[in-house]
Every structure is written in structure tokens, then in C-alpha cells.
A and B are shown apart, each in its own frame.
Chain A
């Protein structure tokens, strides 16, 4: 097979669906025009733990336009089957199946009405009485359950014997994903068949859960999700409101639209858990880390345990001979967390990378140099070779581009008026996660192609990047290829999480389109009337929709000519990607993050002046969208470092700042000079298209780089996130 020239891949395309989005024609979950649809609004519990003792729905029911109020008193019993999947272990919240309240904001009723206004108002008329018990929502000082551990060498002994010892405790705030589009679902039953238009990062996730809850076969459920207004992970689980929408639609016999309010987005769609992270680090005078002892605890609900990748970095980021890890879950009367951008890694990286900075300061070693001194040649946790690990290059490039050598290492050494200026650095790293994916492609006689896979595009630009891959593989222009996604009728793809989409779905799309091109080529070389007759198929490439001999471009014909002569309406192919079961390689993406902050130390203000991240992520398919990812990740990192904090009132488990005025995310004014550099790369050991995944990695390492810069600016070390004014006064 002759490699196709790379034209679309690597060119800075704008989003192919961008025009639809900016002109309001991209239909999100409740935007679809579904004739006869009515509206549902959820009523939330106002206690965090206890029992519903009474439910007065009379005022709501008699309000004009209201069709039905569903509560645990009148809801049908649902099956809620367990199934192998990605739901956390435990007993998931069951919509309206009993009188128990497990956390603040739990759905306790739903009002269905002919208009959204009537449904909203009637929801406020539902009177719920409770028998409330004292809830526990504060992680502080709670022992927790051990859910994971790891050891190599003798970490305690090595720590005790270390020349330099650091012992730190970090408190990382709970964060919420806060995608712009609220979680929402439209549900319609046609007899036994259910169609859901859902906001989800994986249509098959929704289908699996709905089938299990309602006990219906998969062929009776179709989930459609062409556009997702952000997710950051919150769409990686099918939350109760999806079940409620389907239930409500069945109960009223009409299609139902249900969108959560912004306030409800803080109650039932997950969050990055709060962490209490104890870290001990021992090193020799030469700056080689000899021991790392990790004791992270993070919150989960009382009804489910929660797992995220908290341990990986501690095991493989640096060449540390002695490591111990004890990971704990602290069950609380809260909703279950869910993976948020850079899950586990972002939190752990904060602790490790701040501690590394402290070590560098303590030893008087440059923080970049310190990291290089602890660089492993093989994965220290498995002994495996790295598929690629170019972290040293990331640091060297970053240091040069950032002007790191001009840095005076002394804290509080640089001032600009009232502002103390500081710079900091941190490592970012994230697993190259790969999943099984399938795709289908069809090439039409008019020379255009349609490629599809049941993946999602929650923002990374999947529509665009897949189009680029397919265009090159088929030898077509980008505008001649349409990529479709977000429908369970399409070939199966993994959920859009853990940065696996580009590598996994991309490899499937590549495979599919390669097969399709090969089919066309074989057809031509076997066709006596084709100018390509008799040519070795391996010598044929397709350029601009024309099949031609690689070294004799004049000899060839177009897809159109070939199809017309053979009376073909189209050719189609199915393809797939299955990750290698036992890859011999350790596969991660890496980054070196450099940050510069100004701190008005008298007023406690921190402003990020610039961030530069240098990435080792293999091949970059879509550079403009990669930049959107990278910048978005940096902005998320600024939020995590300085602003984002879901506040719980531990007296009654209430989330106090359940709105975007009080839960602060960065705004444009907070964002100044952000820059991403990608090392030119192509990691074919990782996957056939050589990409390592970017979306999660871009956030990891940003918050610690900022915290380290704050230290350099002020001499003040903060171990809590977010870093607030009061911590710096």
C-alpha cells in the first residue's frame, strides 16, 4: 500500500461545523425540533441526608399546562440492572424509587408541562417535607477506605535515610466541570422503541444505562448526540435526569425535553473530587529523589466508590527507586464525583510538582534541572520502554522559548511597580489511553465521501480532525468529505474521554478509509478499460479524487470516471482499530509547562501573565484545534489554580455557590499570553496514526506551574487550591 500524501492532516483547519455553531443551527440536546414535545423540570432535595416524609403536589398538578408530577410515590418501579460498564461500584442513585435522600440537590420529583415556563413554575410549587439527618460532607480528618496501594523498594526506610526530606499536606478544592451547555435530554417513545437526543460524551454510554434501567434490549434504544456544548468529563456517565426524561416521556405518552438549570449542574452531574493529599519526598543532595510516599484521599459518595487515575504519576513520572502509595476514598453524603479534565493526574501533578519545586529551592538546584536529573530511561513502574518520552526536549525547548535562563532563582527578586513577578515550571503527563473503535465509510459516484463512527465531539474538534484524516486517506479535498458522529446506529466507538478519541477513532477512520481507497484501486487495476489496468495496486495513490500511478501521475483516472464506467453508485467499507492487547511500551503524552505570574502581594492578587506549554504528543492531526485544546487546558489550569472552588456548607450539605457568578472560572480579562508548542512527532508505537492524545494532558501541570511561580514571586508557598487572596496577604 503506497502511503497517501499528507495534505489536510497537519493543516490549520477551522472547525468544519463552526458555521453551524456560530449561526445557531447546531442543534444541541433540547434544540431538536421534535413535534409535540413537552417539558420537564426536576425538583431537587433541599436536604443532604434523610427521608422524604411528604409530598404535596396538588398546587403543581392544578397549575395550567401541567400534565403530570412524578415522585417516588407514583413512579413505576424500574429494573436498574447492573452491567459491566463504566459505572462506579456501588448502588447508583435510582430515580424516584424510594424515599431516601442521599445528597443535597438529589432529584425528588419531576414536573411535566406543555410549556417550559409552566413546568418551571409548577416545580417551585411542589412542597416536599423531609425527615432530615445530620449529613457529613467534609473530607477533613475522615479516615476513608483504602482502595488502592502500591510499593516498590522500601519507601519508609529510604525516606528516613534521605539527605533532604519534605513532608507536605495538600488540600485541593472540589471543582465542577461547568460545560456551557447544561446537561439535557429529549426523550421520545414510539411504542417499545425509545429515542433519546442526549448531551453525552458517548451515545453508547447512554444506551447501555437506559437499557439496564428500563430493562429493554439495545435494538429498542437509539441515542443521538450530534453536538455537545462541552463536557470536560461530566458527560461520561448517564446521570439520573436522562432516566427521568425517558420515564416522564413514557408516563405522559409524549416526547419530553428536560434540561438541567445551571444550579442543578452542581448537584447531579459529578465533579472533580476534593483531595486531601499527604506527600513525603526524600532526596539526596544531588537532587535525585530517593523516596516518594503518597497518601491521597479523595471524596466520594456514600452510595458509590469512585476511581480515578491518582496513582500513575507517582509510579512513573520520575526515576524514584522507592515509592509507596496508599489511596483512599472518603465516603460522604454527596453525589458521586466524575472524571474531570486530566482526572487524577491534575490533582496528583499539583502535589508532586509543587513538592519538586520545594525540593529544588531547598537544594538550590534549578527546577528544570532537578526534573532532568530524575528523568527515567524506562518506565520505572513496569520496566517497559517508552513508546516515546521526550520530556527533556520539552523542557529544553520550553526553557529556550520562555527565556528561563534569565530567571533570578531568588524568590521576591523581581518587581514591576506594585507587582512581584515570578516564574514557575512543572511537568505534565497523561496516559495514552486507547480503545476499540469502528467506522464506516462510503464513497459516492460523485466523488464525495461520508464517514461515520458513534463517537462524540464535545469540543476537541473531532468532526474536523476525522475529516482531515479521511480526506487524506481517500485522496479527497476536505470539503468533499463529511464525517458524522453521535448516533448509536453508527459503528461503535469508545466514549470521548481520557483523550482516546483521536488515537482510537482516528485509527479506525484511517483503517476504514484505507480499505475503501484500496477497494477503488483494486477495481481500477483490474478493469481492462482503466488506464490503471495491470498496475501494481501498491503503486497507486489517490490525489484530488484521481487515482494515479505514484511515479507517473499522468497515468490515472478519477473516482468519478471509474465509478461511472462500472455503473457503481458507491463503494463502502467498514474498518476498525483494536489496541494491541499487551503493548510492550509505556505510553504517555508529556509536557513542560512554564508560567509567569504577577502578584500584588499587598492586595493578594495573582494574575497570570503568560503560560508556555511544550508538548510531546506524537503527531498533531489538526494544529488549530490542538491549539484550542491546549489553550483551553491552560485556562482550565488557571481556574484550578486560582479560582475554581465548589463550596459546601457542611452544616446541611448545601452547595453554596451553585452558579457561575459565585463559582469563578477565568474570564477573558484573566487570560493573557498563552502559547503551545508541539514537538514534531509521530509515535507509531502507540497507534497506527502516531498520536498520543492531548485533551487531558493540556490541563495537567498548569496549576502547579502557577503555584510555583507564585512562590517565586512572593516566597509564599501555598498548598491549598485555589490560591486565594487571603492565603497571600
Chain B
């Protein structure tokens, strides 16, 4: 681990000030410290934001939900409002990591987490994200868990967060505060595809702090849920996952929000699937037909070709679980 300085801040302006001065935010530290130990991350100054008053979880006036960036994963998952309004968020969180980690880890840190690509995490391997221009060892290497969507020649790592899949599906916005003031960014624009600059992972300006994630209001009743497919039953990142939210009225799907994890370089919104659902009546056939387009544009690598079919099946399954059939 490289040496670093450490300051703990207790109010938001102090945090942003320290962040603007080049400090690196640390919340739960559950992933940053790991990466520092592996010397993948070498921040010179850590700014501990874990005590900032950004921990509230509350319904918004419009019927949405606002989650403070420092709310812990466990708190969010267990929160009655979250459970009532957006089970998909609770489920995504409860299927993440382990109870110990969820007690420590924050929502802001969760969506900020870096790829689990083993070449990224091995400083002796080539990785454009870690060391721009050094190459991508995963592209021709062992890439069973890597992305099939949104990849570039420079990077094929997936975005590992489960919660981010739910946020992408629900079209959340990310609230930011930086030296230049506040702004909000739609989730689809927050996580960046690697393109030619995989080292740029989020739409964040220097010193910017995530203050909250907000879920807009969706028509009610909204049924939602998260399915995570993985080799072992717990404590593993998703091989494939699907977040689905449906609003059905008069026997017709009015709103469909669908995203997938484990397949994209960012949490992957499945707009084509949504389009096939809207205006239709739930049926087994519809789920199959809609899921057919889930992997549109997929570019499988040597070891992850199976994800194309598995993605469709995962989406189909979760549509059935959430949407049921008559």
C-alpha cells in the first residue's frame, strides 16, 4: 500500500473543499482499501466522508425516492419505504456482497466501485483502465465474466454493481455537489462506457461528491424485482442479472423498466426489451418475445459467448417472475 494522508470530515462543504484539493473520498472503504492494498489505487490523500449527514432515505414529494449517498447498503435494503416502493432495489442490495460488507458499504461507494476484472486488479497485467495505453489483457485472455455489450478495443470489463442495475432500470438521477455547485446527472449518463478512455469511469468533475441517488416517481402499482444468476448461491458478483419493474393497468403493460448486469461495461438498460413490452398484455409468449432482443448488439469474447443466450433467458425469467402470467 502506498503511503497516504487521512482526514475525516464532518460537514459537506469541508468534504468538497478537501476533494477539490485532490483528496480521494473514502466512505465504507470496502473496495477502495482492497485496491490500495493491491496497489491498483494509490491515492495520496484520503478524505473520510463516512460521517457526513448524507444518510437519509426518504420518499420524495412526487412519489419517488431519495437515497443519501452515505446510506449503507444494509440500511437501504431494509428500509420500509424502499421495500414498499422498490423491492428491486432491496433485492439487488441483499444479493450483493455479504452482510458484513453491506453494513459498511455506502450507496455512493457502491455505484462508484471499479471493475472486478482480474487483470485490472493485478498490477503486473496490462490494463488500459489502470494504466492507459498499456493494453487490455482481458480481451484475448480469460474473459468468462467479462462484458458482451458496450465494450471497446480498450476495455471489456463489466460494471460490477448490482444496485446500479436497479438504478439504471428505474432511470435514477445522481445528485452531485462540487466546487462549482450542485448538478444532477441521469443514471444513463453517469456511468461511462470505456470507449478510448476506459480510465474515465463516471461523469464526475474533480472534487465532485455524490450526495444522493434519486429514483423518479413511477406509476403505481409498480411490481419490481431483481434476479441474479451466479455460480455460487451467495457472495459472488453477477454472471448475469436482471432488474425488472412493470406497471400493468387494464391488463396492459403501461410501463416497463428493464436493465441487466454482468453483461455491459456499464449497467445495461434494455430499451429494446422495454419497447416490446409496452402496450402488450402479459403472457409467456410476450416474455420470450421481449427477451429475444435483450442481447441485441452483443459482441461475445472467447469465453463468454454463453452470456448471449443466458442474458435472454435471465430477462425472460425475471419478466415472468415480476409480470406473472394469466
- Which of A121, A418, A643, A658 is in CB contact (< 8 Å) with B317? A418
- Residues on B with C-beta less than 8 A from A151 are none
Whether A642 touches B141, Cβ cut-off 8 Å, given contacts A604-B310, A725-B306, is: no
Using CB atoms, name the residue of chain B closest to A666: B232
Instruction: Scan residues 13-35 of chain B and give those whose CB is less than 8 A from a CB of chain A.
Output: none
A664→B121 CA distance, assembly (Å):
17
Using CB atoms, name the residue of chain A closest to B240: A603
- Residues on B with C-beta less than 8 A from A657 are 118, 142
Whether A649 touches B233, Cβ cut-off 8 Å, given contacts A654-B122, A725-B239, is: no
Does A328 interact with chain B (Cβ within 8 Å)?
A: no
- Which of A603, A649, A664 is in CB contact (< 8 Å) with B137? A649
A729→B313 CA distance, assembly (Å):
10
A659→B235 CA distance, assembly (Å):
14
- Establish whether residues B310 and A670, one from each chain, have CB atoms under 8 Å apart when the complex forms: no
Whether A649 touches B306, Cβ cut-off 8 Å, given contacts A603-B314, A662-B118, A667-B235, is: no
Whether A124 touches B39, Cβ cut-off 8 Å, given contacts A657-B118, A661-B116, is: yes
Does B100 interact with chain A (Cβ within 8 Å)?
A: no
Whether A120 touches B232, Cβ cut-off 8 Å, given contacts A418-B317, A649-B137, A649-B142, is: no
A658→B122 CA distance, assembly (Å):
9
- Establish whether residues A726 and B306, one from each chain, have CB atoms under 8 Å apart when the complex forms: yes
- Establish whether residues A602 and B313, one from each chain, have CB atoms under 8 Å apart when the complex forms: yes
- Residues on B with C-beta less than 8 A from A647 are 142
Using CB atoms, name the residue of chain B closest to A638: B232
> How far in angstroms is the closest Cβ of chain A from B186?
31
Using CB atoms, name the residue of chain B closest to A607: B233
Contact pattern, B 121-150, Cβ under 8 Å of A = 1, otherwise 0: 111110000000000010011101000000
Query: Which of B3, B39, B122, B232 has the largest number of chain A CB atoms within 10 A?
Result: B232
- Residues on B with C-beta less than 8 A from A602 are 313, 317
> How far in angstroms is the closest Cβ of chain A from B201?
19
- Establish whether residues B232 and A670, one from each chain, have CB atoms under 8 Å apart when the complex forms: yes
- Establish whether residues B306 and A729, one from each chain, have CB atoms under 8 Å apart when the complex forms: yes
> How far in angstroms is the closest Cβ of chain B from A721?
13
Does A385 interact with chain B (Cβ within 8 Å)?
A: no
- Establish whether residues A670 and B306, one from each chain, have CB atoms under 8 Å apart when the complex forms: no
> How far in angstroms is the closest Cβ of chain A from B314?
6
Does A605 interact with chain B (Cβ within 8 Å)?
A: yes
- Establish whether residues A664 and B232, one from each chain, have CB atoms under 8 Å apart when the complex forms: yes
A656→B116 CA distance, assembly (Å):
12
Instruction: Scan residues 688-729 of chain A and give those whose CB is less than 8 A from a CB of chain B.
Output: 724-726, 729
- Which of B3, B116, B124, B229 is in CB contact (< 8 Å) with A46? B124
- Establish whether residues A729 and B124, one from each chain, have CB atoms under 8 Å apart when the complex forms: no
Whether A643 touches B140, Cβ cut-off 8 Å, given contacts A120-B1, A602-B317, A657-B118, is: no
Using CB atoms, name the residue of chain B closest to A647: B142
- Establish whether residues B310 and A656, one from each chain, have CB atoms under 8 Å apart when the complex forms: no
Does A74 interact with chain B (Cβ within 8 Å)?
A: no
- Which of A642, A656, A670, A725 is in CB contact (< 8 Å) with B234? A670
A604→B122 CA distance, assembly (Å):
29
- Establish whether residues B309 and A729, one from each chain, have CB atoms under 8 Å apart when the complex forms: yes
> How far in angstroms is the closest Cβ of chain B from A685?
42
A289→B41 CA distance, assembly (Å):
59
> How far in angstroms is the closest Cβ of chain B from A417?
11
- Which of B2, B125, B232, B314 is in CB contact (< 8 Å) with A643? B232
Does A117 interact with chain B (Cβ within 8 Å)?
A: yes
Query: Which of A121, A607, A649 has the largest number of chain B CB atoms within 10 A?
Result: A649
Does A405 interact with chain B (Cβ within 8 Å)?
A: no
- Establish whether residues A642 and B231, one from each chain, have CB atoms under 8 Å apart when the complex forms: yes
- Establish whether residues A724 and B1, one from each chain, have CB atoms under 8 Å apart when the complex forms: no
Does B182 interact with chain A (Cβ within 8 Å)?
A: no
Whether A667 touches B39, Cβ cut-off 8 Å, given contacts A661-B116, A725-B306, A726-B306, is: no
Does A669 interact with chain B (Cβ within 8 Å)?
A: yes
Does A668 interact with chain B (Cβ within 8 Å)?
A: yes
Instruction: Scan residues 292-309 of chain B and give those whose CB is less than 8 A from a CB of chain A.
Output: 306, 309
A491→B314 CA distance, assembly (Å):
60
Using CB atoms, name the residue of chain B closest to A124: B39
- Establish whether residues A667 and B234, one from each chain, have CB atoms under 8 Å apart when the complex forms: yes
A308→B142 CA distance, assembly (Å):
29
> How far in angstroms is the closest Cβ of chain A from B152?
21
Does A651 interact with chain B (Cβ within 8 Å)?
A: yes
- Establish whether residues B232 and A725, one from each chain, have CB atoms under 8 Å apart when the complex forms: no
Whether A664 touches B142, Cβ cut-off 8 Å, given contacts A46-B124, A602-B317, is: no
Contact pattern, A 40-54, Cβ under 8 Å of B = 1, otherwise 0: 000000100000000
- Residues on B with C-beta less than 8 A from A667 are 232-235
- Which of B140, B142, B231, B237 is in CB contact (< 8 Å) with A725? B231
Contact pattern, B 35-79, Cβ under 8 Å of A = 1, otherwise 0: 000010000000000000000000000000000000000000000
Query: Which of A654, A657, A669 has the largest number of chain B CB atoms within 10 A?
Result: A654
Does B236 interact with chain A (Cβ within 8 Å)?
A: yes
Using CB atoms, name the residue of chain A closest to B313: A602
Whether A603 touches B118, Cβ cut-off 8 Å, given contacts A121-B2, A121-B3, A666-B232, is: no
Using CB atoms, name the residue of chain A closest to B227: A603
> How far in angstroms is the closest Cβ of chain B from A523?
58
- Residues on A with C-beta less than 8 A from B314 are 603
- Residues on B with C-beta less than 8 A from A724 are 231
- Establish whether residues B232 and A117, one from each chain, have CB atoms under 8 Å apart when the complex forms: no
- Establish whether residues B1 and A117, one from each chain, have CB atoms under 8 Å apart when the complex forms: yes
A651→B141 CA distance, assembly (Å):
8
- Which of A659, A664, A725 is in CB contact (< 8 Å) with B229? A725
- Establish whether residues A670 and B313, one from each chain, have CB atoms under 8 Å apart when the complex forms: no
A607→B3 CA distance, assembly (Å):
44
- Establish whether residues A669 and B234, one from each chain, have CB atoms under 8 Å apart when the complex forms: yes
- Which of A604, A642, A651 is in CB contact (< 8 Å) with B140? A651
Q: Please list 8 pairs of residues, one from A and one from B, whose beta carbons are closer than 8 Å in the complex, sorted by A's number.
A: A124-B2, A604-B229, A642-B232, A659-B118, A664-B231, A725-B231, A725-B310, A729-B309
Additional A-B contact list (11), CB under 8 Å, known A658-B122, A725-B239, A725-B306: A121-B1, A124-B2, A124-B39, A603-B317, A649-B137, A667-B233, A667-B235, A669-B235, A670-B233, A726-B306, A729-B313
Name B residues whose Cβ lies closer than 8 Å to a Cβ of A: 1-3, 39, 116, 118-119, 121-125, 137, 140-142, 144, 229, 231-237, 239, 306, 309-310, 313-314, 317
Of all A-B residue pairs in the complex, the 7 with the closest CB atoms, nearest first, are A669-B234, A46-B124, A726-B306, A669-B233, A656-B142, A667-B235, A670-B233
